[in-house]
Amino acid sequence: MVKKKVVIVGGTGYLGQHLLETLSNTQTTSFYDVAFTYHSTPPHTLLQSLPHFSSFPIDLHSGHGFDSISTTFGQPDVVVNCAALSVPRACEADPAAAMSINVPTSLVKWMLNFKEKNTLLIHLSTDQVYEGIKSFYREEDKTLAVNTYGRSKVEAEKFILANCSNYAILRSSIIYGPQTLSPVPKSLPIQWIDGVLSKGNKVDFFYDEFRCPIYVKDVVAIILALTTRWVTDDTPMQLLLNLGGPDRVSRVQMAETVADSRGYDKSLINPVSASSVDRGVNSPPDISMDISKLVKTLNICPTSYKDGVKLTLTIR
């Protein structure tokens, strides 16, 4: 059997590493040849952990490096785009960088040059494409982002829809779970909550900002389900799916669940309004999502937030 080729763009990030770790198990590697990209510094810890995977430095702005994938690795059957400038404040500070990285212009142009026009693009978008003025957004609802990060992801979706014929766009909520093989520098949500509550001091949490956090292993399972569907069925897809967990929770409820799991005093959680804090960037109040289309399309029921927190805190 000829192995299918998968490229993870942004393989050194949080989701990218979890994808690579799952793809590295013996059963999966018998079906797939895997490569991943990184931005600047070679990820030595990751390379040591995954020596059988190819890695390539890529500049998403210029597109430099993509041709070396074609030459060395070959045309992929599936490309998973996890790369993004995803910190809203950083996007607000440098809108040009946000647009050049988050709109996958160079990636899609590279794919359009393939002789065989049949590669599946799985692209990670965000729940922040929604305005945030109601609960449980559906995929057909209007996108009206309130910050640069969300607007860059809206433009990315438009670019993919205009140029690609085989794609799955996943509008992801907060992704949480255990740390990666090579620890990522950014703060992880559950670990951060656990860390601040463990100190025994009162901490402010928003009671009026709602999300549908999704456990990282569920995101991996969903991406692999889409990959399997494409490589076995060979029918091009044009999917847009909300990628969230089954629970609409406020920041206060997120913290309370961690406190319950750890046995912390919940009086340490101080409910405040999101409007009382200037974060230097607009944040949509309620971008909870209806995930019924995701569940129906892939027959995957994401882990509850309560169970996901328990799994996160027990995996070291």
SS3 labels along the chain: CCCEEEEEECCCCHHHHHHHHHHCCHHHHCCEEEEEEECCCCCHHHHHHCCCCEEEECCCCCCCCHHHHHHHCCCCCEEEECCCCCCHHHHHHCHHHHHHHHCCHHHHHHHHCCCCCCCEEEEEEEHHHCCCECCCECCCCCCCCCCHHHHHHHHHHHHHHHHCCCEEEEEECCEECCCCCCCCCCCCHHHHHHHHHHCCCCEEEECCCEECCEEHHHHHHHHHHHHHHHHHHCCCCEEEEEECCCCCEEHHHHHHHHHHHHCCCHHHEEEECHHHCCCCCCCCCECCECCHHHHHHHCCCCCCHHHHHHHHHHCC
Tokens describing residue 301: 């029921």
Residue 261 lies in a domain: no
Residue 254 lies in a domain: no
52-61, 142-151, 211-220: segment of lowest average pLDDT:
52-61
At 144-160, the pLDDT tens digits run 999 999 999 999 999 99
Q: How many domains does the chain have?
A: 1
The whole-number pLDDT of residue 266 equals 97
Residue 67 lies in a domain: yes
Residue 156 lies in a domain: yes
Q: How confident is the model at residue 178 (pLDDT cuts 50, 70, 90)?
A: very high
| Cβ atoms of 193 and 176 closer than 8 Å | no
Residue 206 lies in a domain: no
The whole-number pLDDT of residue 27 equals 64
Tell me the mean pLDDT in the region 20-32.
Answer: 82
Residue 274 lies in a domain: no
Check which CATH number belongs to the domain holding 44 and give it: 3.40.50.720
18-22, 134-138, 183-187, 239-243: segment of lowest average pLDDT:
183-187
Residue 199 lies in a domain: no
Residue 308 lies in a domain: no
pTM of the model: 0.96
Q: Is pLDDT at 135 greater than 60 in this prediction? A: yes
Sign of the CA dihedral with 312 first, then 314, 315, and 316 last: positive
At 229-282, the pLDDT tens digits run 999 988 999 999 999 999 999 999 999 999 999 999 999 999 999 999 998 999
Residue predicted with more confidence, 240 or 187 = 240
Domain range enclosing 74? 4-180+213-244+288-302
- CA neighbor of 210 nearest in space, from 283, 264, 313, 304: 283
